[in-house]
Amino acid sequence: QPTYLHDYQPPAHRVTHTELTFDLSPGATRVKARLHLERHPDREDAAESPLVLDGEQLSLKGIAIDGQPLDADEYRVSDTQLTVHRVPERFLLDTEVEIAPEANTALEGLYQSNGMYCTQCEAEGFRRITFYPDRPDVMATFSTTVVGDAQREPVLLSNGNLVERGELPNGRHFVTWEDPHPKPCYLFALVAGNLQKVEDSFTTMSGREVALQIWVEEENLDKTDHAMASLKRAMAWDEQTYGREYDLDLFMIVAVNDFNMGAMENKGLNIFNSAAVLTHPQTATDAAFQRVEGIVAHEYFHNWSGNRVTCRDWFQLSLKEGFTVFRDQCFSADTNSAPVKRIEDVAFFRTAQFAEDAGPTAHPIRPDHYIEITNFYTLTIYEKGAEVVRMLRNLVGWEAFRQGSDRYFERFDGQAVTIEDFVDCMAEASGLDLSQFMRWYSQAGTPEIDAHGEYDYAKAEYHLTLRQRTPATPGQPDKLPLHIPVRLGLVGTKSGEDLRMTLDGEELGRDAVIHLREEEQHFVFTDIAEAPVPSLLRGFSAPVKLRFPYAREDLAFLLTHDSDGFNRWDAGQRLALLALDDLIAAHRNGVEKVMDVRVIEAFRGLLNAETDDKAVLAEMLTLPSEAYIAEQQPVVDVDAIHAARTFVKQSLAVALRDDFLRVYHDNASDAAYAPEPEQIAARSLKNVALSYLMSVEDEEGIELAQRQFSAGHNMTDVRCALTLLTHSSRGDLADPALRLFGEKWAHDPLVMDQWFSIQVTRPQADVLDRLTYLMEHPAFSLKNPNRVRALIGAFAGQNRVNFHRIDGAGYRLLADVVIELNRLNPEIAARIITPLTRWQRFDEQRQALMKAELERIRAEELSPNVFEVVEKALAE
């Protein structure tokens, strides 16, 4: 029962205005809807078409057209739809339904979290609230009245501006909200409960005053400062960078404990997973502070890229998500260290998105069919979508990009549009032909570039050959060549500097972009006076895998001389990967492991060089993750990878012990915590140094870790110390620290999540018993997505050696959880299953075990979510 892109048709009927009344009550919540409907002018068959509305798990209590109750033979209700056989050209439809928010464990539609009512409607949750054309190309103004118990639900929120409130009999009260901006129903939101607010304000560039409110449970009132500051920065940034101003008098954020994703951009009423909004120096790490800043900005930016201009259908999801992720990435880069932001994003992208693109659920940025759209809120749609927008920005240049963006927002304001509409604006603003570029949106899979270079001394030329190929993905055996911008420099081996480049008589400067459009292209750079090492794909200028036969000496050279900070980091990663390759082979062949001294010397150089960017240095000292190393292997050998990486880390720790100790002490500080770039940089550098020392259980390192654990005044330091103590092989270090921490923070679920994750990511073999035990812990619940991610997700996703235990116990545990979650929360079930779907990457024995678990899941009665993923994973 898939939905296909090529089947798109405008709806036969559209809603111009929506009036909703919610009567909240445990066990019997009533929703009255009055829809102002009319035939759609673009549908010739509209006059003959019945009215078809979406609706699921609704019990219909009344239905009338223009005030006339309908007879039973005038309409039909199925599991998913309400059909009214004959309707006039324009009319009012009144319906009343009963729903059960308290029984809603899927967390889609209207549900309860900690006793408070809240909603999640994107993508198709609104149909669980009332009968409606639940599709993004139906845009209406909304007026919403919420009636609740004055004691239990003193706060009643919805989209837009508050226009009326009042008391009602029986201890009830109501509030009416009006949202003047037409919107699709996926942006509808309602919150009701016992909440407290923190208030601030922002004056927009045209001088309008906007009230800003963050609503939380009382005990979290001290955790909103950072989100509020981030919101104000984001509002100012969007004005300065994109000329976009906020358009209501009120902007609200609500923190909710039970939430499937990070957050949701509902018009004027953003709803956040509490983990994505609450911070306090004592409870949240630097990474969490930065994540909150990014997500607050992301949701705010959606007000234009998503809400004012929205998607025609869900195949266009990346139109709003890719663009908005790109916007939030740039915002975070401007606010913090830009190179580190890029390094973090790319490091994550190359592991997680590349793996998705290489797996059974690979799909293009614009898929052409789906069974369950919630399965498509993916790294491909979001992050690869953002990379494609970034390529566009780089291709057309910022100025044309900004003009294209202005054009897009002006032309399509209040409309639901397509990816072509966006790219057309960029093509018009720049005059560039982007037709070949459009293939990025329709072809799945990660393009691979094989590069070869040769220096011709006699002619003073550098010859570069680039060959591209995109591997087959499910349903797409053959791929066409893409338009790939390759940013590069040629670094002179004598001068150590970027050389001036001339290509086909054209002066390119020292850092330039060349365009790969054919399957294979040959570039001849003339007047190259010295032999260069090419620095390719600078800044990760395209989301591709680039292979070049670098010698280790070349990489060591780029590591110190590349003018592009990103590629300096990448040279270090490549160098480490080459050394790791040798060690993985040694481990498999049972021969003695020998550490490559060139890596040690490169790291010694880094630790002793003058640096003004400690954050980048910390990144450079971080070895490629086990997941990224695995990505490079034809058949993943989890044990060899773990052994090799541990060996490299320990060898570096032994060889450079004094340097790591010095770096630790140089960067320790007693300054009051602030989540600002310099402090964050020093903390990450210090903690990287400590992780090396702890990898060999250095006595002095242990002492430092213990001191940092007990005296640390912020969660970044405390959590790092606790992780290192817990992951050491010594139970006498782990257990007392875990006990102390667990008791101290038992009242704070978001801190307990960290406590769970730290324990289940231990490399020790007993971790599965611990996991089973922790699943019974009072702070754990399968019904809460954050808990599931912290315990099960962290184990299956990050603890590679133990999840892939050769007896299959890790797989079995995950499958058990998926089967249970399939009933409770299909969306989370379909996500948590991911590691099992990657079975093709492993040896035969593990493949068989993983497939057996997938088969066991398939034998259950499955939600569409899990069904779609399992079918793909088991397809031949």
Active site residues: 299
Least gap, CB of 193 to Zn ion (angstroms): 25
Given the rule CB under 5 A, which of 84-92, 313-321, 332-340, 518-526 is the region that contacts Zn ion?
313-321
Q: Which of 591, 478, 460, 620 is nearest to 525 (CA)?
A: 460
- Give the residue carrying structure tokens 């790591």: 660
Least gap, CB of 321 to Zn ion (angstroms): 5
Least gap, CB of 414 to Zn ion (angstroms): 19
Tokens found for residue 654: 């032994």
Which amino acid is present at 775? M
By beta-carbon proximity to Zn ion, the closer residue of 373 and 854 is: 373
The C-alpha atoms of residue 340 and residue 876 are separated, in whole angstroms, by 40
Handedness of CA 42, 48, 53, 54 (dihedral sign): negative
869 CB-contact burial (10 Å; exposed 0-12 / middle 13-18 / buried 19+):
buried
Least gap, CB of 319 to Zn ion (angstroms): 11
Least gap, CB of 210 to Zn ion (angstroms): 21
Helix, coil or strand: residue 620 = helix
Least gap, CB of 383 to Zn ion (angstroms): 11
Given the rule CB under 5 A, which of 90-98, 320-328, 510-518, 757-765 is the region that contacts Zn ion?
320-328
Beta-strand ranges (E) seen in 527-643 are: 532-536, 545-547
CA atoms within 13 A on the CB side of 378: 29
Handedness of CA 862, 865, 870, 876 (dihedral sign): positive
Tokens found for residue 581: 């390759």
Per-residue x/- track, 205-244, Zn ion (CB under 5 A)? ----------------------------------------
Least gap, CB of 724 to Zn ion (angstroms): 34
Least gap, CB of 306 to Zn ion (angstroms): 7
Region of residue 633 (phi > 0: left; psi between -120 and 50: alpha; otherwise: beta): beta
Given the rule CB under 5 A, which of 319-327, 481-489, 587-595, 631-639 is the region that contacts Zn ion?
319-327
Least gap, CB of 302 to Zn ion (angstroms): 6
By beta-carbon proximity to Zn ion, the closer residue of 137 and 321 is: 321
By beta-carbon proximity to Zn ion, the closer residue of 156 and 311 is: 311
420 CB-contact burial (10 Å; exposed 0-12 / middle 13-18 / buried 19+):
middle
Given the rule CB under 5 A, which of 317-325, 482-490, 498-506, 853-861 is the region that contacts Zn ion?
317-325
By beta-carbon proximity to Zn ion, the closer residue of 96 and 321 is: 321
The C-alpha atoms of residue 626 and residue 577 are separated, in whole angstroms, by 11
Max Cα-Cα span within the chain:
95
By beta-carbon proximity to Zn ion, the closer residue of 321 and 554 is: 321
Tell me how many residues contact Zn ion (CB under 5 A).
2
Per-residue x/- track, 321-350, Zn ion (CB under 5 A)? x--x--------------------------
Binding to Zn ion in span 572-631, by CB under 5 A: none
The C-alpha atoms of residue 288 and residue 278 are separated, in whole angstroms, by 9
CA atoms within 13 A on the CB side of 350: 25
Given the rule CB under 5 A, which of 318-326, 511-519, 674-682, 826-834 is the region that contacts Zn ion?
318-326
By beta-carbon proximity to Zn ion, the closer residue of 324 and 378 is: 324
By beta-carbon proximity to Zn ion, the closer residue of 279 and 324 is: 324
In order of 284, 302, 450, the CA distances from 263 in angstroms are 18, 11, 39
* CB contact set of 250 (below 8 Å; sequence gap of 6+): 160, 161, 162, 210, 211, 213, 268
* CB contact set of 178 (below 8 Å; sequence gap of 6+): 141, 142, 143, 144, 160, 161, 163
The C-alpha atoms of residue 247 and residue 244 are separated, in whole angstroms, by 9
By beta-carbon proximity to Zn ion, the closer residue of 96 and 383 is: 383
Q: Which residues of 547-576 are buried (b: 16+ CB within 10 A; e: fewer)?
A: ebebeeebbbbbbebbebbbbbbbbbbbbb
Q: Which of 272, 300, 266, 302 is nearest to 160 (CA)?
A: 266
By beta-carbon proximity to Zn ion, the closer residue of 416 and 854 is: 416
Least gap, CB of 186 to Zn ion (angstroms): 12
The C-alpha atoms of residue 203 and residue 657 are separated, in whole angstroms, by 53
By beta-carbon proximity to Zn ion, the closer residue of 322 and 489 is: 322
- The binding site for Zn ion (CB under 5 A) comprises 321, 324
